[in-house]
Amino acid sequence: MAVHGTVAPGFEPVRDAFTDVLADARGGSSFSVVRDGTAVVDLWGGLADPGSAVPWREDTLCVLFSGTKGVVATVVAALDVLDPAAPVRDLWPEFTADATIGQVLSHTAGLPYVDGEHDMLDNRSCAALLAAQDPLWTPGTRVAYHALTFGHLVAELLRRATGRSVGTLVREVVAEPFGLDLHLGTPEHLDARTARLQRAPGYAISTFLDDPERRKVVERMYAGLLDSDERMNSAAYRRAELAAGSGTGTALSMARLYDLLARGHVVAPDTLARATRAWSEGVDALNDRPLRFGLGYELEDPIGTYGPTGRSAGAFGHSGAGGGRHGAWPRERLGFSFVTNELRSENADGRADRLLEALSASL
């Protein structure tokens, strides 16, 4: 498939790596790198809709899945109205678990799924159920990825602190002030620009996990979202303001966001330093995957999620289901983003790793 876009002199290895990524693609993707405010890599290609052969264009939007969490973490840090040391019930009296806001943001609250019948697209009803739910462990004692409930909990905390929905806050705090093509609660008029998602053959979640009993918990955690191409491509999913995963955006806008953060914009430096230090780390109690979290941000980890050791020192951002990878290398003063509509299992997907290795070699 043809590669479109540009790279700055010296970044040709990234174009070569992206060419290899597209050569093996059934769908489409984009990879962007912004350094000190300048796009040094902005590449795209493949198919935005493989079923009808619609090409991926410069302005193609893609569902970010959990890449959304990094955008929402930025909103939380920029507003600085949620005290991580405060008990959740200080803002949310109905919340029964003895958890702090920092434990919610760092995936240690022990509420990884909504118990009982629920509509995963309804933040308010899911939040009400979670408020009455007993945690699986004493909050703060274990780390385990809260794939969807992170969003329900954080959206409710932000609503109570600001009186506004999380989608409104993404627009007002991040997207509009900085001219970023990022959306949470994507409006109908952008549907024509949005890539259609597809799962690669054999796609599976939680590929580090072998225990069948914990697999059942993980299946409850994801609530069937990634089991159906139709569900993840539905307008209802894109319209929902799911702070854990329904945002859409372009790779260039995500890279610009993380470049801005790396250069001290959007979030006050002291606040960003607090948000990007390790608040939790260890092996996921449910998924058996090594994790490190700040306050909503994923951090560099032992398995190289954020690129080669050295370059990724101090890295933060958030990956997304199926292969998306978005973040900042603060020491290099750059942001990067890989978006794709072809979901691959983590143990069979080296696309973002290859691109970050090529990026490192180009610096």
Residue numbers of the domain that contains 63: 3-362
In this prediction, what percent of the chain has a pLDDT beyond 70? 100
Helix (H, G, I), strand (E, B) or coil at 39: strand
CA distance 314 to 276: 8
Convert the pLDDT of each residue in 58-80 to its tens digit.
999 999 999 999 999 999 999 99
Task: Using only the alpha carbons of the chain, give its radius of gyration.
Answer: 19
Structure token digits, residue 309: 């050791």
The CA dihedral of 297, 145, 194, 122, to the nearest 10 degrees, is -110
pLDDT band at 220 (very low <50, low <70, confident <90, very high): confident
H or E element in which residue 328 lies: strand 325-329
Q: Which residues contact 153 (CB under 8 A, 6 or more apart)?
A: 88, 104, 109, 111, 127, 130, 146
145 neighbors 296 (Cβ within 8 angstroms): no
Strand partners, 319: 325
Q: Which residues contact 294 (CB under 8 A, 6 or more apart)?
A: 73, 105, 106, 275, 276, 277, 278, 279, 316
pLDDT band at 207 (very low <50, low <70, confident <90, very high): confident
Convert the pLDDT of each residue in 290-299 to its tens digit.
999 999 999 9
Give, in order, the Cα–Cα distances in Å from 289 to each of 1, 169, 211, 317, 320: 34, 31, 13, 17, 15
CATH number, domain of 130, equals 3.40.710.10
Task: Determine the pLDDT at residue 205.
Answer: 87
How many domains does the chain divide into? 1
Task: Determine the pLDDT at residue 219.
Answer: 86
Q: What is the mean pLDDT of the chain?
A: 96
CA distance 8 to 41: 6
Model pTM? 0.97
Strand partners, 205: none
pLDDT band at 28 (very low <50, low <70, confident <90, very high): very high
Q: Give just the sign of the alpha carbon dihedral 292, 297, 300, 303.
A: positive
